[in-house]
């Protein structure tokens, strides 16, 4: 069943190259109309292949892709209601900005009067009206990217596909473009599907994110859910930073789960955590660095607390990242906000501290 809200429906799609390489392994996804959707994963996870299948440059070995309710099998890229922004931007070097944006309308026989209006409208959307007569080699990287955006948007596609659109920009510009892309998407109301390996990019821009690894989609969720409730070790580790430990469920008592972690055992016989359905047998125990509280004296009020030694301090200005090790061999990463000018000076390697965190901030991941 296709509900009216679904614009892209990927059903049991498998893509094999040759007989051995499986790029996309039985993926099913529904992308909603007007959504900013991100495919996130390390390089070689199949995210770009999936995007290219949506654009029509690759065809699925098995399974189906529906765009706006229509089967895309055998539909050539030039006949699909989607447009793509390429990683290299692929702005035509021998055409002016105006000609670039007009190209997609010209080749499909749009009347001349209409072309000019739509090109102007599209260029104003990306604030490039003043550059219409320029050639791509007279533009900066960010401006070329805007041309690529305007060129795709002028076609009024049902879905805009973006392949690592920000990877070639420097850090400052990238952050600015992230914000602009989100504004642009909300103002035109077109569904965006973006491929990225940068988790910050995905978290800050997307409405929903699909995390892929080795051809599989591991989790599809909104950014905050993905960050706070990852469903497996890979997602927990890939998104943000994570302190991960191996644990064993020791028992259940008064609706609480008791988990034994070998590295904590010398100080803490069992972690007592709220009930969790994953808590069976061998589990992964995870806690985010920023959830860890640091104290110089033993925090008596905290149930989960461990005495640790600072092994390394990495100074970032606003924060310092501390690497800590307990007597039982548990290694932690924790963040220290440099709230006062001399905060960082007090924390040096070898200093003894206490780490603690709230039991409900602990993630239990099934292994």
Partner 1 sequence: MSRDRVNPLDYSRKTWMRLCMGFTFVFLYFPIVSLIAFSFNDSKRNITWQGFTLYYYEKAFANAQLHEAFLNSLIIAATSTTVSTILGAMLGLSLYRFRFPAQGPYEGMVHLPIVIPEICMAVAMVAFFATVNMPLGLATITVSHIAFSIPFVAVVIRARMAGFDHALEEASYDLGASQWQTFWNITFPYMKPGLLAGALLAFTLSLDDFVITFFTSGPGSTTFPIKIYSMVRFSVTPEVNAASTVLIVLTLALTMVALFVQSRSQGNQHG
Q: Which of residues 186-215 bind partner 1 (CB under 8 A)?
A: none
Q: Which is closer to partner 1, CB of 193 or CB of 333?
A: 193
Residues 83-142 that bind partner 1 (CB under 8 A): 83-84, 86-88, 90-94, 103-104, 107-108, 135-137
CA dihedral sign of residues 68, 36, 131, 86:
negative
d(CA 279, CA 275): 8
Q: How far is the CB of 62 from partner 1 (least distance, A)?
A: 23
Burial of 172 (0-12, 13-18, 19+ CB in 10 A): exposed
Tell me whether residue 126 or residue 271 sits nearer to partner 1 (CB atom): 126
Q: How far apart are CA 268 and CA 265, in angstroms?
A: 5
Q: Which CB sits closer to partner 1, 160 or 334?
A: 160
CA distance between the termini of the chain:
33
Binders of partner 1 among 136-175, rule CB under 8 A? 136-137, 144, 148, 151-152, 155
Q: Among residues 145 and 326, whose Cβ is nearest to partner 1?
A: 145
Q: How far is CA 73 from CA 155, 158, 227, 310, 338, in A?
A: 22, 17, 35, 58, 56
Give alpha helix (H) positions in the chain: 47-55, 97-106, 112-125, 141-153, 171-188, 199-205, 223-228, 233-238, 343-346
In whole angstroms, how close is the CB of 178 to partner 1 at the nearest point?
Answer: 22
Contact between 78 and partner 1 by CB under 8 A: the answer reads yes
- For residues 56 and 215, which CB has a smaller minimum distance to partner 1 in the complex? 56
The alpha carbon of residue 138 and the mean position of all alpha carbons in its chain are separated, in whole angstroms, by 32
Q: What span, in angstroms and rounded, lies between the C-alpha atoms of 217 and 215?
A: 7
Cβ proximity to partner 1: between 61 and 87 the closer is: 87
Name the nearest CA neighbour of 154 among 174, 177, 192, 126. Answer: 126
Query: In the bound complex, what is the minimum distance in angstroms from residue 138's beta carbon to partner 1?
Result: 9
Tell me, by CB under 8 A, how many residues bind partner 1: 30
In the block, residue with structure tokens 């219409």: 132
Q: How far is CA 283 from the centre of its chain?
A: 25
Least Cβ distance, residue 79 to partner 1 (angstroms): 8
Stretch that binds partner 1, among 71-79, 292-300, 330-338, 341-349 (CB under 8 A): 71-79
C-beta of 303: minimal distance to partner 1 in Å?
Answer: 56
CB of 157 to partner 1, least distance (A): 9
CB atoms within 10 A of CB 139: 18
From the list 51, 55, 249, 308, which residue makes contact with partner 1 (rule: CB under 8 A)? 55
Q: Measured from the CB of residue 226, what is the shortest distance to partner 1 in angstroms?
A: 30
Report CA torsion sign: 292, 298, 300, 304.
positive
Q: Which of 60, 136 has the CB closer to partner 1?
A: 136
Q: Which residues of this chain interact with partner 1, rule CB under 8 A? A: 55-57, 76-79, 82-84, 86-88, 90-94, 103-104, 107-108, 135-137, 144, 148, 151-152, 155
């Amino acid at each position: 069943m296709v509900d009216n809200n679904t614009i892209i429906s990927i059903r049991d799609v498998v893509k094999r190259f040759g007989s051995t390489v499986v790029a996309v392994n039985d993926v099913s996804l529904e992308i909603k109309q007007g959504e900013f959707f991100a495919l996130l994963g390390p390089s070689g996870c199949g995210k770009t292949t999936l995007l290219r299948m949506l654009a029509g440059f690759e065809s699925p070995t098995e399974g189906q892709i529906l765009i706006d309710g229509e089967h895309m099998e055998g539909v050539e890229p030039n006949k699909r209601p989607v447009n793509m922004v390429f990683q290299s931007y692929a702005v035509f070097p021998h055409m002016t900005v105006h000609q670039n944006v007009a190209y997609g309308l010209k080749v499909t026989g749009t009347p001349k009067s209409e072309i000019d209006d739509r090109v102007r409208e599209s260029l104003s959307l990306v604030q490039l009206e003043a550059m219409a007569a320029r050639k791509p080699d007279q533009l900066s990287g960010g401006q070329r990217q805007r041309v690529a955006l305007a060129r795709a948007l002028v076609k009024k596609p049902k879905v805009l596909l973006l392949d690592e659109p920000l990877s070639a920009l420097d850090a400052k510009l990238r952050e600015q473009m992230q914000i602009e892309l989100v504004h642009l998407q909300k103002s035109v109301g077109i569904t965006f599907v973006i491929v990225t390996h940068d988790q910050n990019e995905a978290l800050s821009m997307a409405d929903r994110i699909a995390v892929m690894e080795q051809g599989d989609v591991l989790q599809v969720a909104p950014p905050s859910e993905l960050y706070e409730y990852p469903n497996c070790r890979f997602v927990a580790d890939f998104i943000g930073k994570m302190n991960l430990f191996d644990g064993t469920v020791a028992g259940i008592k008064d609706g609480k789960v008791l988990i034994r972690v070998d590295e904590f055992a010398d100080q803490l016989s069992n972690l007592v955590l709220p009930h969790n359905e994953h808590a069976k047998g061998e589990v992964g125990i995870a806690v985010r660095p920023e959830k860890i509280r640091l104290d110089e004296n033993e925090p008596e009020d905290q149930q989960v607390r461990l005495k640790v030694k600072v092994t390394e301090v990495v100074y970032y200005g606003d924060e310092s990242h501390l690497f800590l090790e307990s007597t039982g061999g548990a290694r932690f990463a924790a963040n220290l906000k440099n709230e006062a000018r001399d905060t960082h000076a007090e924390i040096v390697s070898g200093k003894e501290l206490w780490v603690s965190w709230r039991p409900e901030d602990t993630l239990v991941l099934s292994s």
